[in-house]
Amino acid sequence: MLGYQSSLVMYDEEYQRIVEGADKLLRESNAKSVFLVDRNGQLIAATGETEHLDTTSLASLTAGNIAATGGLAKLIGEKEFSILFHEGEKDNIHISIVGGRVILVVIFDQRSSLGLVRLRVKKASEEFDRTLEALDRKSAEESGGGDPQNPFAEITDDDIDNLFR
C-alpha cells in the first residue's frame, strides 16, 4: 500500500530526444501539431502549430478521454483501446497510448491522411518507448542513490508561504 506515489521525472537529455521525435513525427506525418501527455493529464511536450491552442486544457481533456474510454474498454472485456480517432470538419485528432503510460496526440487536416498518421505514429511510438524506458532507468538510479538532485530538498516554509503571498 502506497502513500505518496512516485513522481514522473523528465531530464534534459530525454526531453530533447522526445522533442526531436515529436518534430520528426510532425514532419513525416504532415500534421499540424504533435503532443505528448502523461496519463494523469500533464503536458510533456508539444510541437507544431501550438500557439493558438490551450495546451494545458488539451492535455487534461486528452487524459480524461483516454481514462473514460479505458473504462469503457474494461466494461466490454478489453484491456484498453490503444488508438482513438476523432474526425472533424477540418481538423482531426489521432490519440494513441505509447508504452502503456504516455499519450501521443496528433492533430492533422486534409494535408495528411489517417493512414499516413497511423503509419508514422506506429514508427515514432517505438522510439518514444525506448526514450521512456531510458527515462525510467535513470529515474530509478537517481532515486535509488538517495536522489541527490531533488531540487526541493532544501525548500523552507518561507519558500512555500511566499507562493501564496
Binding site for another protein (CB under 8 A): 1-12, 15-16, 38-42, 44, 54, 56-57, 60-61, 64, 67-68, 70-71, 139, 143, 147, 149-155, 159-160, 162-164
What whole-number distance in Å separates Cα of residue 98 and Cα of residue 104? 7
Cβ proximity to another protein, 5 vs 110, nearer residue: 5
Least Å from the CB of residue 11 to another protein = 5
Task: Count other Cβ atoms within 10 Å, centred on residue 51.
Answer: 7
| Rounded-to-integer distance, Cα 129 and Cα 125, Å | 6
* Pick 4 or 90: Cβ nearer another protein: 4
CB of 19 to another protein, least distance (A): 8
24 vs 39, beta carbon nearer another protein: 39
Nearest to 45 by CA among 23, 28, 65, 30: 23
Quick one: which of 31, 85, 5, 95 has its CA closest to 59? 95
- Rounded least distance, CB 154 to another protein, Å: 7
- Name the minimum Å distance from CB 47 to another protein: 14
Residue 117's contacts (CB-CB under 8 Å, 6 or more residues apart) are 29, 31, 94, 106, 108
For residue 59, the minimal CB distance to another protein (Å) is 9
Q: Which is nearer to another protein, 103 or 117 (CB)?
A: 103
Query: What CA–CA distance (Å, rounded) separates 27 from 123?
Result: 13
Nearer to another protein, 76 or 163 (CB): 163
